[in-house]
Structure 1
Amino acid sequence: MSAQSDRRWAQLARELEFGQLPELRRQAEGWRAGLTGLAALVAVLVTLKGRDDLDRIPDAARETAGALVGLAFLLLVAGSVLAVRAAHGSPGEQVLLAGQALRDWTRREIVRVTRALRCAAVCCVSGVALVTAAVVVVWTTTGAPADHLVRVVTTGGERCGELLGSGPGGVVLRTEGEKRTVLPARTVTSLVPVSTCASSG
């Protein structure tokens, strides 16, 4: 029984040589489908808005995120091309009829397919990592400071915030924690531009 089992395993090992390339082709086809889906997902994410205040993100962060997404898309496309090459071979390949030539070609093709699959996997992981980095950059970057900050001294104290407007009705501010504050003109004694409201009362 043991000798028969050993012979069977030896036979399977000899047959494995003939099925290795088709198996690699099937794996490559799966990678190709996955990478195509990821590239499409990146394209969709680029067209959708993540944050509503992207215009308030500093230009450097916005450009960095855009470059990361663009590079990720290129990597995913490159991975898809490599996976297609691994799954279907190169265009114009000749069919080999001689046994020894076919064996040599198969061994070389196995090496090429394996290398292409590894590169496709690296492209996939790198592309996903870059997309993640772009999302982190966009969501963690502090918005640009508000323009036109002023400190308004009134008869009741000081207020500091972004100047939204002024007129006969008073001074309109956007203060921290509030959407809009109107200070009546009769109570305003002075208005001074400032760079920050951190030290305001």
Structure 2
Amino acid sequence: MTENEPVPEQRSLAAEEPPQDPPDAAQAAVWRNGLTAVTALLAAVLVLRGPAELASVHWSVRVLSAALLLAGFALLVRAVLLAIAAASAPAGQPVSALTPVRRLAVVGLAVLGATVLLGWLAPAAPTPAKLIQLTYDHGIICGLVSLEPDGYVTVLPDPGQAPNRITAKARTLVPVAAVHGMTEVGVCEPPATLPTPAP
């Protein structure tokens, strides 16, 4: 063995174990394009459907759903920005790891999915009682109406209505035979002219 020949035992371990290659820029570009398309599609669906999907649920569910939507879209936008940065890294330089992009995308989609399930499974808000303006032999009375007991129309006061000439002050029983008409109203307000009571 000559003096110029390398000794096998002295070779560097670094040459035998090359460093792992960073994620390829093409893979980052795929993630960038896919996440951008998914985020844009979900945003378009949200804009087109509007708040009508959650209109029938309790206000607390609507507030929670709005917070979850904001959080989910924030995570997806963050994932898109990281993917853009990874895909646009200069040639020859290592590309940022895609692990944070994957995690943010999965968590963001999971949050949006939970929001959809919440909207589906949440109990409906109680339907407000309808106010009825009832015209009968002795004038007009307005309030919450029930058809019990038999032969009578029961008019109940609504605490949310301002007191006036036609707002029911107490539980009132009106015989069905004395009723001339019933109209559903949003607010108990006396009409411009009141009918003349029967003698």
TM range (shorter): 0.5 to 0.7
In the TM superposition, what is the alpha-carbon distance from 1:137 to its structure 2 partner?
A: 1.2
Q: Do the aligned partners of 2:79 and 2:101 also contact (CA within 8 Å) in 1?
A: yes
Partner of 1:55: 55
Q: Do the aligned partners of 1:51 and 1:139 also contact (CA within 8 Å) in 2?
A: no
In the TM superposition, what is the alpha-carbon distance from 1:30 to its structure 2 partner?
A: 0.3
Give the secondary-structure state (helix, strand or coil) at the position aligned to 2:127: coil
Q: Do the aligned partners of 1:42 and 1:131 also contact (CA within 8 Å) in 2?
A: no
Superposed, 1:93-108 pairs within 5 Å as 106=93
Which sections of structure 2, spanning at least 5 residues, go unmatched? 1-14, 159-199
Aligned pairs, number: 138
One-letter identity of the residue aligned with 1:60? S
Match of 1:130 among 104, 111, 117: 111
Cα distance change on mapping 1:193 and 1:49 into 2, 3 Å: farther
Runs of 4+ with >6 A deviation = none
In the TM superposition, what is the alpha-carbon distance from 1:49 to its structure 2 partner?
A: 2.3
CA-based RMSD of the aligned residues comes to 3.9
One-letter identity of the residue aligned with 1:65? S
Q: Alignment identity in percent?
A: 27
Matches of 1:120 and 1:42 in 2, distance apart?
A: 18
Q: TM-score, normalised by structure 1?
A: 0.55
Which sections of structure 1, spanning at least 5 residues, go unmatched? 1-13, 96-101, 149-162, 172-180, 195-201
Rg larger in 1 or in 2?
Answer: 2
Matches of 2:51 and 2:66 in 1, distance apart?
A: 14
Partner of 1:26: 26
Partner of 1:156: none
Task: Name the one with the larger helix percent.
Answer: 1
Q: TM-score, normalised by structure 2?
A: 0.55
In the TM superposition, what is the alpha-carbon distance from 1:142 to its structure 2 partner?
A: 1.1
